[in-house]
Structure 1
């Protein structure tokens, strides 16, 4: 998608967002102005990625279900244009190699010196609490050397409860923490204890930013239960 299309969409949506929601953004200067960066945060509703893309000056790329860009007809084409313009990279995450495909996509984005947004929980929170992070975030930072900037979405669950339906008007705050450097673990991206330690450290920072209650199980397990 062209840079012009992204700029126009971001400008239009950005104006609407500021008029309707007047989001409070804290710590935006924590995001480096150049080079690879991993943005890692909580995930409470569908529109989190939209808010993230609109408040960060640099283009943020993130993984999304390929079904968002495979629709038919005019509606399908419009949806595909919208999501890809916002920075979504479609990946089939339902297959047996979905996790690997997502990881390699993130690595490619970072190797190109760009920003990759990721939700370590792996899915939206089923009840507003913060769940255990998956170690893909740790693999990415150790493989690429990219710093991790933790962030928290606060209030987006009130904008779109349950991640469905038309968005409502509600206060939104987006907080960014200071960059986390894990270069001390260089070359240890296959050590599962290191991967867990790095992931838990990131999630600890996200929890402090969001104020959510932490649950030490995976969100997918909570949903299944």
Structure 2
């Protein structure tokens, strides 16, 4: 198995509260893995440890053979910018920008010329059914449309891994299923691995591998 991500013995605390307890996790290139659990189970905390956003108190996270703890802040920021994508619960789009401008942000931040970045963003948005909304400001768009833009932004630079925290959150069931299906279809086409933290069993059912998290402990791993 060609692993892109591995975690061993990861602990994370909020003050005295242990949110992640001795987690072991592995992810192959192109694999979709779901971390399921109820509210407060620690799944989002683990997700952000795996992504290098939260530093573990103990244990190691290795990305493509490199320990994240060995990287400088600048190198870690560059890794997240160039090789990682994020889909967060409410999208965190910039309302004053258009759909195309929002989706192009990772490429622009990586120094890609505006024309090339916007062309790439338009292609990805088109594959998500957003051709007619490229130049619309996102402030007035629906939740499902905004989530598609967030997905496009996460995938536009063809990262190795996308981390998705409750990607179906705040959407009705029909929108959630449609957006999730399009997101995973496009990720698989790009051979991008996905780690998704979710309480939604319908989301977990679409993964290749499912982890169950209970009180900070990864209690079960099932490969479909």
Same fold per superposition (TM over 0.5): no
**Hey, which of these two has a bigger chunk of strand by percent?**
2
TM-score class, shorter-chain normalisation, is 0.3 to 0.5
